[in-house]
């Protein structure tokens, strides 16, 4: 049976952020992830994880001004210094939280820029981050995101991400495979997971359309969960979806779709 981690950015949003740890534990989760830890002192997050016997499995590198609509800065040639500072900050937090991997959001294409103008920056930033994180014992992930939800995002497809990983050439750079984003851009979920399992460091889920709970849309999650087990994936699957009502009420899918 797959191991599910609660994404506390998306789930239990009826509660203040720091109360979501306890809610996740009460709902039967053993692990959590969320977008960014940086607004909360490390000691408070460490205590929330410890007090609720939770494992932290993922957070992102700093991604610029999120509230202003930025979705990563790794492809911005004029922000390399800021990116490198963010790598150091991510290592500081991930080390304190015992988090084994962090995700790098490539970002939206800079206005007026062409791909060939920003690709070298992204490659060099990823090489730097992969090297620094490897020294700290932390894996680096990259995630394709669909162009419907985030128009202009630089990295949108699995094959594009794998080619980028080849160009970076680091064994410490793996793919974060988000089932929802992949369904919107390319489909072929089972085949892609099976073919590239060795290069996948983390999986996330939501159904489509609407980024809802598994079982509410077009994805055949009972089959897909069996397939994920059959191909031998043993990592966590982050639950990064929008609940239809309150989070706890909608968690029945974990039993209904995995047995």
Q: Supply the residues annotated as catalytic.
A: 143, 240
In the three-class reduction of DSSP (H, G, I as helix; E, B as strand; rest coil), residue 162 is classed as helix
d(CA 99, CA 137) in angstroms, rounded, equals: 10
Residue partners of 181: CB distance under 8 A and separation at least 6: 143, 144, 145, 146, 149, 156
Among residues 143, 216, 214, 149, which one has the least CA distance to residue 178?
143
d(CA 204, CA 23) in angstroms, rounded, equals: 20
Residue partners of 178: CB distance under 8 A and separation at least 6: 143, 144, 145, 203, 204, 205, 206, 240
Number of C-beta neighbours around residue 128 at 10 A: 18
| Tally: H helices and E strands in the chain | 9, 8
Are the CB atoms for 106 and 75 separated by under 8 Å?
yes
| Terminal-to-terminal C-alpha distance of the chain | 8
53: left (phi over 0), alpha (psi -120 to 50) or beta: left
Q: How many CA atoms lie within 13 A of 10 on its CB side?
A: 22
């Amino acid at each position: 049976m797959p191991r599910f981690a609660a994404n506390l950015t998306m789930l239990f949003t009826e509660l203040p952020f720091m109360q979501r740890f306890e809610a996740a534990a009460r709902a039967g989760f053993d692990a959590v992830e969320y977008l960014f830890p940086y607004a909360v002192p490390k000691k408070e997050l460490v205590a929330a994880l410890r007090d609720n016997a939770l494992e932290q499995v993922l957070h992102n590198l700093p991604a610029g001004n999120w509230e202003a609509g930025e979705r990563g800065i790794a492809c911005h040639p004029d922000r390399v210094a800021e990116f490198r500072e963010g790598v150091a900050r991510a290592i500081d937090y991930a080390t304190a939280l015992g988090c084994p991997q962090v995700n790098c959001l490539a970002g939206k294409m800079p206005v007026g820029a062409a791909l060939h103008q920003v690709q070298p920056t992204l490659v060099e930033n990823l090489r730097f981050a992969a090297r620094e994180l490897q020294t700290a014992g932390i894996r680096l992930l990259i995630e394709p995101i669909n162009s419907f939800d985030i128009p202009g995002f630089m990295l949108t497809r699995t094959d594009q991400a794998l080619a980028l990983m080849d160009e970076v050439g680091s064994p410490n750079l793996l793919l974060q495979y988000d089932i929802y984003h992949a369904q919107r851009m390319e489909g072929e979920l089972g085949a892609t997971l099976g073919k590239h399992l060795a290069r996948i460091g983390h999986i996330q889920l939501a159904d489509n359309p609407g980024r809802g709970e598994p079982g509410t849309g077009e994805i055949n999650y009972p089959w897909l969960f069996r397939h994920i087990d059959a191909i031998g994936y043993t990592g966590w699957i982050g639950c990064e979806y929008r609940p239809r009502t309150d989070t706890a009420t909608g968690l029945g899918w974990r039993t209904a779709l995995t047995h």
